[in-house]
C-alpha cells in the first residue's frame, strides 16, 4: 500500500516536471554539457587514484568556473561585451580543467598500476623467501635426525 502510494507520488511529480516549461538557451545547454563532461573527467581522475592535492586543484578550477557562471548570470542583457568575455573565460577554463583532469587521470592510473605491480612483486618475493626458509628448516631437521641415528648405540639382546 505504501509502495503503491510512493510510486504514484513519484509519477505525479515527474508528470508535473515534464509539463512545466523551462526556458533554456542553446549556449547554456552547450556549457552544461561541457561542464558535465569536465565533472565526469574529474570524477574519473579521482577514481583512478588522484591524490588530495591534485583533486584540490581540479575542484578549485571547477569552483572558479562556477564563480564565472554566477557572474555571467547576474549580468544584464546590455553588457554584451562582458558576457562574451565571461563566456570565453568559462570555455577556456573548462578546457583547461578538462585537459588537467585527463592528465591527472593518466598519471594516477599509472601510479596505481605501478603500486599494484610493486605489491604483487613483493608478495611473490616474500613467498619465495618463506619457501626457502621452510626448505632449509626441514633440511636441518632431517640432518639432525640422521646424526641422532648414527650416534645411537646398538645393544644386542
Residue 83 and residue 75 in contact, taking contact as beta carbons nearer than 8 Å: yes
- For 70, the grid coordinates are 554566477
> Each residue's pLDDT tens digit in the chain (157 positions)?
445 545 455 544 544 455 544 444 445 677 888 889 999 999 999 999 888 999 999 999 999 999 998 988 888 878 888 888 988 999 999 999 999 999 999 999 999 999 999 999 999 999 999 999 999 888 888 877 767 767 777 777 7
pTM for the model stands at: 0.64
Closest CA to 31 of 80, 74, 70: 70
Quickly count helices (H) and strands (E) in the chain. Answer: 4, 0
Q: Which residue has the cell 562556477?
A: 66
Amino acid at each position: 500500500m505504501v509502495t503503491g502510494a510512493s510510486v504514484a507520488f513519484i509519477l505525479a511529480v515527474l508528470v508535473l516536471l515534464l509539463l512545466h516549461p523551462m526556458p533554456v538557451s542553446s549556449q547554456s545547454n552547450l556549457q552544461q554539457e561541457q561542464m558535465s563532461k569536465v565533472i565526469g573527467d574529474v570524477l574519473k581522475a579521482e577514481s583512478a587514484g588522484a591524490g588530495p592535492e591534485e583533486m584540490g586543484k581540479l575542484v578549485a578550477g571547477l569552483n572558479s568556473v562556477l564563480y564565472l557562471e554566477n557572474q555571467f548570470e547576474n549580468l544584464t542583457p546590455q553588457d554584451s561585451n562582458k558576457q562574451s568575455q565571461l563566456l570565453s573565460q568559462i570555455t577556456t577554463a573548462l578546457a583547461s580543467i578538462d585537459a588537467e583532469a585527463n592528465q591527472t587521470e593518466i598519471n594516477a592510473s599509472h601510479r596505481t598500476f605501478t603500486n599494484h605491480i610493486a605489491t604483487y612483486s613483493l608478495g611473490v618475493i616474500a613467498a619465495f623467501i618463506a619457501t626457502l626458509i621452510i626448505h632449509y628448516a626441514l633440511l636441518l631437521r632431517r640432518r639432525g635426525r640422521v646424526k641422532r641415528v648414527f650416534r645411537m648405540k646398538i645393544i644386542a639382546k
